[in-house]
């Protein structure tokens, strides 16, 4: 069975965005070791799952990066990997190399049972919260930024039941981000 991995940046107090969706506190000046780690994390991935809100910016960003000769190589994988966008509102697919899905639990289970390599999930908050609440994430890769927000968007606040996780790895990177890697 394929694994569903979550890769997300968060603050030390557990928020993935500020109260108004701000993400200006995140570290994007990654050191080479962190870049290499994320490259290795995404190497066995052959499907990306996204919520509709994040997909609108994510897909457009990687498309423009791929179309720029200076960033093409860096963007190749994110551009070429098939994407599944979970939505309740879009009926006509506006993106290339992307399919739409409407039933989170059933469609994720079908993806995990289908042939292929690992699947990776990226936010937004509502989408990721739903994946966590339904117990669909197999591995959590939490990239903790050295910032406390006090308030914001949490991916864990919708839990109805406790989920116990096992720490696989923790790693501090020179740029200040600390990785916490958990499995169920």
The confidence score (pLDDT) of residue 167 equals 98
Q: Compute how many other C-beta atoms are within 10 angstroms of the C-beta atom of residue 70.
A: 7
Domain-by-domain residue ranges, the chain?
Answer: 1-45+132-166+177-184, 47-115
The conformation of residue 82, written as its DSSP 8-state character, comes to -
Q: Exposed e or buried b for every residue in 152-183, given b needs 16+ CB within 10 A?
A: bbbbeeeeeeeeeeeeeeeeebebebebbbbe
**Which of 131, 159, 156 has the alpha carbon at shortest distance from 5?**
131
CA quadruple 108, 112, 116, 118: dihedral, nearest 10: 90
pLDDT at 148: 97
User: Which pLDDT score is estimated for 96?
Assistant: 85
Fold observed for domain 1-45+132-166+177-184 = Dihydrofolate Reductase, subunit A (3.40.430)
Give how far Cα 109 sits from Cα of 6, 20, 56, 123, Å.
15, 32, 24, 18
pLDDT recorded at residue 94: 86
d(CA 161, CA 135): 10
**pLDDT tens, the chain, 184 aa long:** 999 999 999 999 999 999 998 999 999 899 999 999 999 999 999 999 999 988 888 888 888 888 888 888 888 888 889 999 999 999 988 888 899 999 999 999 999 999 999 999 997 889 999 999 999 999 999 999 999 999 999 999 888 889 999 999 999 999 999 999 999 9
């Amino acid at each position: 069975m394929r694994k569903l991995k979550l890769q997300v940046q968060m603050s030390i107090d557990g928020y993935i965005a500020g109260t108004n969706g701000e993400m200006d506190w995140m570290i994007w000046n990654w050191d080479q070791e962190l870049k290499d780690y994320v490259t290795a994390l995404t190497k066995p991935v052959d499907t990306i799952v996204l919520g509709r809100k994040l997909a609108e910016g994510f897909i457009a960003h990687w498309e423009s990066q791929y179309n720029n000769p200076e960033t093409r190589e860096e963007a190749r994988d994110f551009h070429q990997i098939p994407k599944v966008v979970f939505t309740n509102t879009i009926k006509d697919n506006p993106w290339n190399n992307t399919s739409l899905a409407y039933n989170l639990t059933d469609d994720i289970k079908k993806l995990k049972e289908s042939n292929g390599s690992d699947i990776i999930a990226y936010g937004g908050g509502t989408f990721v919260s739903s994946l966590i609440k339904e117990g669909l994430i197999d591995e959590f890769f939490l990239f903790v930024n050295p910032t406390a927000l006090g308030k914001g968007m949490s991916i864990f606040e919708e839990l109805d039941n406790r989920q116990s996780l096992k720490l696989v790895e923790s790693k501090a990177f020179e740029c200040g981000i600390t990785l916490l890697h958990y499995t169920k």
